[in-house]
């Protein structure tokens, strides 16, 4: 068995593979870079760094941020 680095272990702590979810996110949001290097997965949205201890948590955060941004854009356009 090959030992895993702390970064690899933090990406999938509960054993569920998030690779397919990450690929779907990257396809839907090619303008949001997601990096899995270093201690924690991280991404940048509108110039702001978003970091989480797990890939699942990062993707959850990114989806919420992007949903909020879409709601704010719609609200701003209506005014």
Q: What is the pLDDT along the chain (79 residues), one digit of tens a residue?
A: 344 455 554 444 544 689 899 999 999 999 999 999 999 999 999 899 999 999 999 999 999 999 987 767 665 554 4
Please tell me the pTM assigned to this model: 0.71
pLDDT of residue 74: 66
Per the domain annotation, does 41 fall within a domain? yes
Q: Which domain holds residue 67?
A: 29-79
Are the C-beta atoms of 23 and 66 separated by less than 8 Å? Answer: no
Q: Report the mean per-residue pLDDT for the chain.
A: 80
Per the domain annotation, does 24 fall within a domain? no
Per the domain annotation, does 78 fall within a domain? yes
Per the domain annotation, does 33 fall within a domain? yes
Per the domain annotation, does 21 fall within a domain? no
Per the domain annotation, does 55 fall within a domain? yes
């Amino acid at each position: 068995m090959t030992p895993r680095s702390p970064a690899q272990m933090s990406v999938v702590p509960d054993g569920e593979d998030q690779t397919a979810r990450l690929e779907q996110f990257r396809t839907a949001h090619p303008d949001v870079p997601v990096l899995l290097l270093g201690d924690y997965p991280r991404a940048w949205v509108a110039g702001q760094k978003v970091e989480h201890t797990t890939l699942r948590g990062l993707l959850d955060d990114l989806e919420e941020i992007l949903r909020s941004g879409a709601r704010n854009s719609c609200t701003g356009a209506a005014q």
